[in-house]
Every structure is written in structure tokens, then in C-alpha cells.
Amino acid sequence: MNNISQAIPFLGSRYPRSASATLIAFALIVPVLAALCGNTWVRILDFALLYILLAIGLNLVVGFAGLLDMGYIAFYAVGAYTWAFLASPQFGYHLPFWLVLPLGAAFAACAGIILGFPTLRLRGDYLAIVTLGFGEIVRIFMNNLTHPVNITNGPQGIDQLDGLSLFGFELNKGLPLGESFQVSSLFLYYYVFLAAVAFAILLVKRLQVSRIGRAWAAIRDDELAAKAIGVNTRNLKLLAFAMGATFGGVSGGLFGSFQGFVSPESFTLMESTAILTMIVFGGMGSLAGVIVGAVVLSLLPEVLRQIALPIQEALFGRVFLDPEVLRMLLLSLAMILMMILKPAGLVPAQSRYSRTDDLKREEGA
């Protein structure tokens, strides 16, 4: 958790264990604090955790392997529609989550390989264009898969999806504690999503320092040099696409169970752009930065809705900019300032050894 504690200024660099403990405690109690302002904020926190999971997966592809993927939301859609097909009354299947989630992750990983294999020779902007097209193809496919047999229900989507069921409790119904008190499903889903994010963080941390992570870093820095020293760039790039897509598939399944409804409108190009923006804003290749960027940018629309609208009405008597337009304006300004002031992101990725460590080793020699 040491590099995650970078997100806390001063405390994270001087007392990393205390910073990690503080982060864990805050993550556990933050939904209780948010509930004081209304259950809407707890729901926003749930979606923030899903965005963190998506951003961690995309960071494997973009931040670690250096492959610019603009169609990442397609894997999110694959996981969500897998849940819709296998856990909804429309198709008559009500499979348990421990079977549906792995299937969604596996289908998303296969989609990642299908996308990665024909793009192995592409780099930079060309790769971005192809992946962007893949994301739009998946969305349009789901939108139009109604003839001759109505499978996805088109733009109307699929509703009445099954929720998560853990240890015999259905999370959508909440958890009764006594006769007069019940834990809301929003809280239950929050802690399930938090556990998924924690597992993803531990897995990615191990990957980052493994031979696979170092090979991805070599490909990102110089693919020709990596190939010259014996790195199997083809297999490792396919692995990056597959593993990143797996995170997207799991996130999609969790989204379907939480929302109870999926439609193509949830998987637009703007969603892919938003997730990529979270990575760039927080710090590409930085696990702590990705988390910070996802939290900040997922909470921003609701904060603007609560603050910007009353301010405009108080000053001008009417609303000039709705929260979505204002969010895009502020995001654009923030990205411009980031490129000028902190091009590496809010929490930049750190190399395994710093220059200070190199100097100390030289002095010791």
C-alpha cells in the first residue's frame, strides 16, 4: 500500500504505514459520512468505485504497456450484457454471480484478444482510431441486435436484472438488522465494490513488479529495444489487452447487478474518453494517480450540480451552464493546466529506484 499512500501529501512520504491505515479507515467509513448528506451521495460513491476498477484495468493497457485504447468501454459492455443474458427473466436464466462474473470476465478477455490480435503492428494514433472503432462497433451491435430475433432489446435495454446474492442475502433487498433497522443496498454494494477494488490493487501491484510488468514497461518505453533483448512483444501486448479487458468485464457485471438495467447508452465513446481522462489526470502508469483521478472526476458532476447551479441562480437569476456542459468545460481547462504545470499527472508514477538511491549506491561503491 506504500505507493497508494502517495495520494496523501506529506503523510504518505514520511509515514507510509500511517497513511495506508488512514486511507483504509476513510474508505470504510466514507459511505456513512456521505449518507449524512443523502443516499444519493452513497450511490455516487458506488459508481466511483466502479470507475476506479475500470481505470485500473485501462491503466494496465495504456499506462503499463503504452497501448492507447480508446474503445475500452466495449469490454465494460460485454461484462454488463453477459450479466443481462445470464441473470434476467427475459432469457429465463438466473445463474449465480460466482458463475456469471467469471464468464463475463472471460468473454471480455476474449474480446480483448480479438481486438489486440489485428492491431499488433499499430501504434499511437492509428491504434487509438482502431480501438475507438471497436468500441463503437460493440455499442452499435448491441443497439441493433433486434432482427430477426430480438436479443438485446435495442436502445430500450434489458431490465429486471438479478442483483448480487451473498451468503443467502440478496443485496438489492438490503440487510435487516433487527425489527426497525435495515442496512441499505447502497451500503452493501459499496463494500462489495470496495473489496473488488482492493483485490484489483493487490493484483496490479504484484503485476507491476513481476517479469510481466517489467516487460510491459520495456514495450512502453521502446518496443524495438524490448524485442531486441528477447521480449515476446506479441504475446505480452495480447496479455495486456486481455487482462485490461478482464477488469472491464468484471466491472460491467457488477454494474449490471447494481443498476438492474443495461442499455447501449451506458457505453458510449464519452465514457471511454472519461476513463482515459481519469488516467491522464491522475497520472498515467501510477496506481495511486489512477485512483485519485477516478475519484475526483466521478464526483465532479454531482459537486457541480450541488454548487454551480445555486450560484448561477443566485448571481444571474437563471442557469446559463448545466452541470454536464460545465463539467466538460472545467475538464478541458484542467487538462490544459495539467499539461502545462504537471504533465505527469496529479500523482506521477515513480520509478523503482530514484536518483537519490543511485547516488547513494555510487557513493557506497
What DSSP letter does each residue of 50-68 carry, written as one string? HHHHHHHHHHIIIIIS---
So what's the pLDDT on residue 9? 52
Q: Measuring CA to CA, how many Å separate 350 from each of 2, 62, 287? A: 12, 16, 10
Q: 37-364 has which fold? A: ABC transporter involved in vitamin B12 uptake, BtuC (1.10.3470)
**Mean pLDDT along residues 241-258:** 94
Average confidence score pLDDT of the chain: 83
pLDDT at 317 over 80: no
Half-sphere exposure of 42 (CA within 13 A, CB side): 20
> Residues 71-111: pLDDT tens digits?
899 999 999 999 999 988 877 788 888 899 999 999 999 99
The three cell numbers of residue 242 are 486481455
So what's the pLDDT on residue 79? 94
By mean pLDDT, which of 100-109, 244-253, 352-361 is the weakest? 352-361
**Mean pLDDT along residues 233-256:** 93
- Domain layout of the chain by residue ranges: 37-364
The residue with cell 460466482 is 98
Share of the chain above pLDDT 70, in %: 89
pLDDT at 65 over 80: yes
> Residues 275-306: pLDDT tens digits?
998 898 888 888 888 998 899 888 887 887 77
Q: For residues 141-159, b (16+ Cβ closer than 10 Å) or e, as one string? A: ebbeeeeeeeebbbeebbe
**Distance, CA of 348 to CA of 59 (rounded, Å):** 13
So what's the pLDDT on residue 351? 57
So what's the pLDDT on residue 10? 46
> Residues 132-189: pLDDT tens digits?
999 999 999 999 888 777 788 888 889 889 888 877 778 887 777 666 666 778 888 9
**Distance, CA of 172 to CA of 194 (rounded, Å):** 17
Q: Before 310, cis peptide (omega within 30)? A: no
Residue 102, amino acid: P
Say how many Å lie between the first and final Cα of the chain, rounded: 31
**Mean pLDDT along residues 217-224:** 89
pLDDT at 359 over 50: no
